[in-house]
Structure 1
Amino acid sequence: MSAAADPAAATGPRALAHPGREEIRIEDVLHALADPVRLRIVRRLSGAGEGQACSRFDLPVSKSTSTHHFRVLRESGVIHQIYRGTAKVSCLRQEDLDALFPGLLDSVLRAADHQARRLGEDGHVQRTDG
């Protein structure tokens, strides 16, 4: 059972709205993944293996903009968020996305990794001609 399908995770006074698996649309997922900051969040969640508190992400944007990016990812069905105490914890909805769009997330993540290597950590294109 995915985190999004866990009824216990979606109840309580601080529950966050998430689309059900059947409500997730490819155009919303692609829109969410098209932003560099959101793609950075997804790449980190993909490598984490478990949920990550939003406050643990070092993003090059303000806190309010960061909140917006997480909300777009959640509302598009890319991530699932729950409150653990005062922390909002995010996890990737890999199982749901793989069931709906087989291979999409893996392909996007591979392409993003390739681009990161090609551009280098500072964002500038690496010369390959020596």
Structure 2
Amino acid sequence: MRELPQPATEAIQLVEVLRALADPVRLELVQRLAMTGEDSCNGLGGDLDVHQTTLSHHYRVLREAGVTLTTVQGRSRLVRLRRGDLDARFPGLLDSVLDGARSAVGD
């Protein structure tokens, strides 16, 4: 298994994380990851009304911002949240964003 390039924990920047989470599709992907733990790119966003190339772009933005970790396993790409790294850099941020997103859905 190999990991794709991503920032080290200490290099994760708040502005980049917030920019990545500001997009509704990316926020939905993060919410799904928070529930599943880890999933393949196709399994996670396969039912979203987004072209595959656009979905790939969203995964790249999340990875490059330090929100997710993507590993390559054969022909599959597995994605998971970097919850521990995000909590180390910005304690409570991810939980606050996910709680806010859940609340917004109920409005």
TM range (shorter): over 0.9
Residue 16 of structure 1 deviates from its aligned partner by: 1.2
Q: Aligned letter for 1:59? A: L
SS at match of 1:59: coil
Number of equivalent positions: 105
Q: Aligned letter for 1:68? A: H
SS at match of 2:54: helix
Q: 1:67 aligns with which of 36, 49, 56?
A: 56
**So what's the TM-score if we normalise by structure 1?**
0.78
SS at match of 1:96: helix
Q: 1:25 aligns with which of 3, 7, 13?
A: 13
Identity %: 47
Match of 2:42 in 1: 55
Gaps of 5+ in 1: 1-8, 119-130
Q: Take 2:42 and 2:51, find their aligned partners in 1: how far apart are those partners?
A: 12
RMSD: 1.0
Q: Aligned letter for 1:63? A: Q
Gaps of 5+ in 2: none
Q: 1:84 aligns with which of 73, 76, 84?
A: 73
Match of 2:93 in 1: 104
Q: Take 1:59 and 1:72, find their aligned partners in 2: how far apart are those partners?
A: 17
Q: Work out which structure has the larger RCO, using CA pairs closer than 8 Å and 6 or more positions apart in sequence.
A: 2
**CA-to-partner distance for each residue in 1:19-72, whole Å, 9 max, x for gaps?**
0001100000000000000000000000113x1000012222100000000000
Which is richer in strand?
Answer: 2
Which is richer in helix?
Answer: 2
Q: Aligned letter for 2:40? A: A
Residue 105 of structure 1 deviates from its aligned partner by: 0.4
Comparing 83-92 and 69-78, the one that deviates more: 83-92
